[in-house]
Amino acid sequence: MYYSQFLSRVCMPHAVLLQPKESWNSSKSNDEIIVGHCTKVPRNSNLEKLRSGYLFPEISRHESEHLQKNPDASLIRLGIGDTTQPIPDTITLAMAEQVRGLSTIQGYRGYGAEQGNMALRKAIAGKFYQDMGIKANEIFVSDGAQCDISRLQMLLGSNVTVAVQDPSFPAYIDSSVVVGQAGELEEETGKYGNIIYMNCGPENDFFPDLSTIPRTDIIFLCSPNNPTGHAASWQQLKQLVEFAEANGSIIVHDSAYAAYIRDGSPRSIFAIPGAKEVAIEISSFSKFAGFTGVRLGWTVVPEELLYSNGFPVIKDFNRIVCTCFNGASNIAQAGGLACLSTDGYHDLCKVIDYYMENAKILVDGFTSLGWKVYGGKNAPYIWVHFPGMSSWNVFAEILKKTNIVTVPRRGFGPAGEEYIRVSAFGQRQNILEAIRRLNSFL
């Protein structure tokens, strides 16, 4: 209901009802008359700019409409990148123990540190940043990457310029608009003013051609990329770090899918020498551990990262975390610690292997149908090319003919069409069934 087009409204005090209707009904035919009280509080102009309809709720709406028309359809959801496999016992046992402890005097815990439990921060530093010089106090535990993207935007404020990959996960741009970094939406191009869109396609190996990108304060880069599935190579990330150094920019590197890298590409931007002076990294337990509903992530802000006036970014981020956040759930944090135990990590790797086997099945399936396929080798996303076609049309046709939900390219940014993203999260039998349906109906 929230995603319907907003009809402009005219606020009328109750008293106006007493007048003839003609006298207060405006000339605009699609005005919706609000009879009642309007406050005098102005709507946030940043939100006014924001394109209506966040992508994933939009996809859900299409799903629901399809199901209303076809109540017996057996949907296979390869759209929203949502984990489907059970969390290994080692991890849920640790969380259950933490939960039950909350019913005892000894085990009860109230507020924890806003930055996260030190044991977990240390474990993250040890497991993911060994030999990169990242310290536990540079790791801020969060309730997930999307939430931390917004907190980072609150940190940065409205007075910075931003570059974003196109295609990209919509939260970067939408949160930029919310905090006032963006100009108006140009209806013709679908682009916001003041945002630099860095095109990433097969022509540039899915990595921005930095020779064509103007300097911005902030560069968002997601690797392995959502949606293209491309993992930036050592060479590509090294170029980016040098570009940021030369321009005095800050890279916000989203490594939420790092655990899916298979080919030896860097799993963290901090594997690149010099990155600590130019980068922040956002990461997550969501796709690594099936914690999409449990909610746990982290952000790394190195002490070496400084604003132009020499002030350490970590001090301001710490302040944002203490003021705007109160720490991730202590139950989720206990789970996070179990994920990084020897047994937990081993079990999770098997789940990731399972999804990557799904990815291979999807890559092979689409390829054998004659479509050019990218991604799926270092990420749980397959990026399928349908030359010359509108991506929403491809999305709609696949949904209509096969009851499979995907995500159209257009949902990830304005620059292109012709692609859909297919998620490798799902039960194996559904992935196999999806390929069967595609073979039969496309």
Residues 25-44 that bind a copy of itself (CB under 8 A): 32, 34, 36-44
CA 322 to each of CA 62, 101, 256, 318: distance values in angstroms, whole numbers, following the listed order: 39, 26, 23, 6
Q: Using an 8 Å Cβ cutoff, are 314 and 329 in contact? A: no
Of 25, 26, 28, 100, the one binding a copy of itself by CB under 8 A:
100
Does position 219 bind a copy of itself by CB under 8 A? no
Strand 381-385 with 419-423, pairing: antiparallel
Of 205, 242, 245, 433, the one binding a copy of itself by CB under 8 A:
245
The nearer residue to a copy of itself, 117 or 255, going by C-beta atoms, is 117
The nearer residue to a copy of itself, 307 or 441, going by C-beta atoms, is 307
The nearer residue to a copy of itself, 232 or 244, going by C-beta atoms, is 244
Does position 332 bind a copy of itself by CB under 8 A? yes
Tokens 């682009």 -> residue: 191
Please report, for the chain, how many H helices and E strands are present, in that order: 14, 17
Report, in Å, the least distance between residue 328 CB and a copy of itself: 7
Report, in Å, the least distance between residue 335 CB and a copy of itself: 8
Tokens 């039960």 -> residue: 427
Q: Using an 8 Å Cβ cutoff, are 404 and 431 in contact? A: no
Residue 219, SS3? Answer: strand
Does position 24 bind a copy of itself by CB under 8 A? no
Report, in Å, the least distance between residue 225 CB and a copy of itself: 19
Give the CA radius of gyration of the chain: 23
Question: What residue type is 90 in one-letter code?
Answer: T
CA distance 225 to 204: 14
The nearer residue to a copy of itself, 176 or 268, going by C-beta atoms, is 176
The nearer residue to a copy of itself, 264 or 293, going by C-beta atoms, is 293
Q: Which contacts (CB < 8 Å, 24+ apart) does range 130-136 have? A: 132/268, 132/270, 132/271, 133/270, 133/276, 134/270, 134/276, 134/300, 134/302, 135/303
CA distance 282 to 148: 7
Residues 361-400 that bind a copy of itself (CB under 8 A): none
Of 293, 372, 401, 439, the one binding a copy of itself by CB under 8 A:
293
The nearer residue to a copy of itself, 316 or 343, going by C-beta atoms, is 316
Of 18, 105, 187, 214, the one binding a copy of itself by CB under 8 A:
105
Does position 111 bind a copy of itself by CB under 8 A? yes
Of 146, 255, 299, 402, the one binding a copy of itself by CB under 8 A:
146
**CA contacts within 13 A on the Cβ side of 305:** 24
Of 25, 189, 326, 439, the one binding a copy of itself by CB under 8 A:
326
Of 76, 195, 305, 382, the one binding a copy of itself by CB under 8 A:
305
Residues 251-270 that bind a copy of itself (CB under 8 A): none
Does position 108 bind a copy of itself by CB under 8 A? yes
Give me the residues paired with residue 407 across strands: 421
CA 264 to each of CA 230, 257, 298, 402: distance values in angstroms, whole numbers, following the listed order: 13, 14, 22, 36
CA distance 439 to 442: 6
Q: Using an 8 Å Cβ cutoff, are 265 and 234 in contact? A: yes
CA distance 133 to 119: 17
Does position 242 bind a copy of itself by CB under 8 A? no
Does position 99 bind a copy of itself by CB under 8 A? yes
Of 8, 30, 211, 440, the one binding a copy of itself by CB under 8 A:
8
Residue 391, SS3? Answer: helix
Of 16, 24, 46, 136, the one binding a copy of itself by CB under 8 A:
46
The nearer residue to a copy of itself, 44 or 393, going by C-beta atoms, is 44
**# binding residues, a copy of itself (CB under 8 A):** 114
Question: What residue type is 346 in one-letter code?
Answer: H
The nearer residue to a copy of itself, 223 or 284, going by C-beta atoms, is 284
Which stretch of DSSP H or E encloses residue 48? helix 45-49
Residues 69-88 that bind a copy of itself (CB under 8 A): 80, 82-88
Burial class, 316, CB count within 10 angstroms (exposed 0-12 / middle 13-18 / buried 19+): middle
Report, in Å, the least distance between residue 71 CB and a copy of itself: 20
Stretch that binds a copy of itself, among 261-269, 314-322, 363-371, 381-389 (CB under 8 A): 314-322
Report, in Å, the least distance between residue 367 CB and a copy of itself: 28
Of 123, 222, 294, 337, the one binding a copy of itself by CB under 8 A:
294
